[in-house]
Amino acid sequence: MEKKASSFSGQIGFVLAAAGSAVGVGNLWRFPYLAAKDGGGLFLLVYLMLVLTFGFTLLTSDIAIGRRTKQSAIRAYETMRPKWKFLGILTFLVPVLIMTYYAVIGGWITKYAAVYLTGQSAAAAEDGYFTSFITSPVSPVVFALLFMGVTAFIVYNGVEGGIERVSRYMMPILLVLVVVIAGYALTLRHEDASGQMRTGLEGLRYYLTPHMEGLTVSRFLQILLDAMSQLFFSLSVSMGIMITYGSYMKKETSIEKSVSQIEIFDTGVALLAGLMIVPAVFVFSGGDQSAMQSGPGLMFQTLPKVFDSMGGGQFGQIVGALFFLLVLFAALTSAISLMETVVSIVIDKFHVKRAVACIIVFIGMMLLALPSSLGNGVWSHIQILGMDFLTFFDFISNSVIMPIVALLTCIFIGYVVKTQLVVDEVKSSSKFSREKLFVVVIKYIAPIFIVAILVSSVLSGLGIITI
């Protein structure tokens, strides 16, 4: 990101901006499908524990590094230790990879916003609608192009004015809507073909109960890896974004308080999004495991049914349109911060004009997004390690590169520049009540834990060990 002359106005300004980047598709789309897939309450428990330890530690480090060096990620590590320049470069890879499939999901959301705005809510609720859309060769690519085009246009014109002002209203409205839909989802009742009645409250129980039955070591490891990668993705840590945001933070703003507020906000939205989706899938599928495990399509397959059941067609149509428009907005703000990061680095490195950089990045991203989009349909026969392209890009960025960046950050802070550097930065504006926890997690717990999860999951993924 280009250096802004101004910095965030204070605590609220900083927290809102950081939450704007953090709250996005990760909370609304990714978190609920992982919670449904990974045994409901068990995933929630593991995730919450990670937020309070890893999330807190990594977010604090990223923001403190940014504020201390006043540099974006690619330069921050180099400024502190020239030999660690590679970590900045590795960090830069993450937004590039994420962008390639964020564009595809953004396209899906754009499509659904268009579907609801043009009055096709009943069609969207039909079984097979989503699948036939994502497997078609043209439509998803066109919508991804549209989504990326708008993102590139905004990044070219500058983010400051409109978007930031609008997001102050959109985010709270989105939150209220999520609460309302979640409340409604709990009142759902549905009778399946065999006459069995399922209710939203039973769905809630499924969402909150830790399901231990049939739990094996390898499955537990899988859940840990899922929760850890979700944590990095959702909080926008270990990808340089929070370092850049930290570099705009004023000296007087409390890092510790900001970190707590961002965590509460981000996790709160994720939990609510799960509440809106998981009980509803349960009601409509009768707890059928293959439906609960359906992954990336969950939001697009379940919510249309919820809207459809809202009675009187019209009403569900309006709620659906409003919902997908707001999600589109949340996705756009996150996509903008991803693309802005990449564009500013291209400008810095190649000394090109902003317009040229935007065009280069747009074309490059679209080319990279193509496999993720077509991988659901015409290229579905191509599998990498048993995954389609979108799942593979998601896996490589969130479950491999981000944990590696996080691990290297822990080593860098814990053993190279030493934890005192971050502690001093935090204490320069407030007290640091979780200092001991921070030091223990960053020096010992996080590195050991990350290595253990990474190694075992990679080895078992490659079939080298069976756990």
Q: Which residues bind ligand PFF (CB under 6 A)?
A: 21-22, 24-27, 95, 98, 233-234, 236, 239, 241, 334, 337-338
Give 14 or 206: the residue with its C-beta nearer to ligand PFF.
14
Give 233 or 392: the residue with its C-beta nearer to ligand PFF.
233
Any idea how long the chain is? Answer: 467
Structure tokens at 290: 């293959």
Report in angstroms how near the CB of residue 109 gets to ligand PFF at its nearest.
11
Report in angstroms how near the CB of residue 262 gets to ligand PFF at its nearest.
11
State the residue number with the nearest CB to ligand PFF. Answer: 26
Report in angstroms how near the CB of residue 241 gets to ligand PFF at its nearest.
4
Give 19 or 280: the residue with its C-beta nearer to ligand PFF.
19
Structure tokens at 135: 């497997």
Give 21 or 344: the residue with its C-beta nearer to ligand PFF.
21
Rounded Cα distance between 376 and 173, Å, is 33
Give 60 or 234: the residue with its C-beta nearer to ligand PFF.
234
List the Cα angle 45/49/52 in 5-degree steps.
Answer: 140
Give 97 or 439: the residue with its C-beta nearer to ligand PFF.
97
Q: What is the dihedral of CA 11, 340, 111, 380, to 10 degrees?
A: -120
Query: Residue 195 CB: number of other CB atoms within 10 A?
Result: 6
Give 281 or 338: the residue with its C-beta nearer to ligand PFF.
338
| Residue in 400, 362, 404 with CA at minimum distance from that of residue 96 | 362
Rounded Cα distance between 404 and 67, Å, is 23
Report in angstroms how near the CB of residue 337 gets to ligand PFF at its nearest.
4
- List beta partners, residue 210: 40
Give 72 or 317: the residue with its C-beta nearer to ligand PFF.
72
Report in angstroms how near the CB of residue 25 gets to ligand PFF at its nearest.
4
Which stretch of DSSP H or E encloses residue 190?
strand 189-191
Which stretch of DSSP H or E encloses residue 347?
helix 314-350
Report in angstroms how near the CB of residue 230 gets to ligand PFF at its nearest.
9
- List beta partners, residue 165: none
Report in angstroms how near the CB of residue 384 gets to ligand PFF at its nearest.
22
Report in angstroms how near the CB of residue 29 gets to ligand PFF at its nearest.
8
Give 233 or 324: the residue with its C-beta nearer to ligand PFF.
233
Give 373 or 398: the residue with its C-beta nearer to ligand PFF.
398
Give 236 or 301: the residue with its C-beta nearer to ligand PFF.
236
Question: Which CB contacts under 8 angstroms, 24+ apart, belong to 437-442?
Answer: 437/53, 437/56, 437/57, 438/56, 438/57, 438/60, 441/53, 441/54, 441/56, 441/57, 442/57, 442/61, 442/410, 442/413, 442/414
Report in angstroms how near the CB of residue 203 gets to ligand PFF at its nearest.
24
Q: Report how far apart the first and last C-alpha atoms of the chain are (Å, whole number).
A: 43
- List beta partners, residue 197: 191
* Residue 6 backbone zone (phi > 0: left; psi -120 to 50: alpha; other: beta): beta
If you search the block for the tokens 């190649």, which residue do you land on? 350
Report in angstroms how near the CB of residue 98 gets to ligand PFF at its nearest.
6
Report in angstroms how near the CB of residue 24 gets to ligand PFF at its nearest.
3
Structure tokens at 81: 């230790």
Give 62 or 425: the residue with its C-beta nearer to ligand PFF.
62
Q: Which amino acid is at 380?
A: S
Rounded Cα distance between 211 and 208, Å, is 9
Q: How far is CA 320 from CA 26, 64, 351, 385, 402, in A?
A: 19, 40, 44, 36, 34
Residue 353 is classified by DSSP as -
Report in angstroms how near the CB of residue 313 gets to ligand PFF at its nearest.
31
Structure tokens at 404: 């590696």
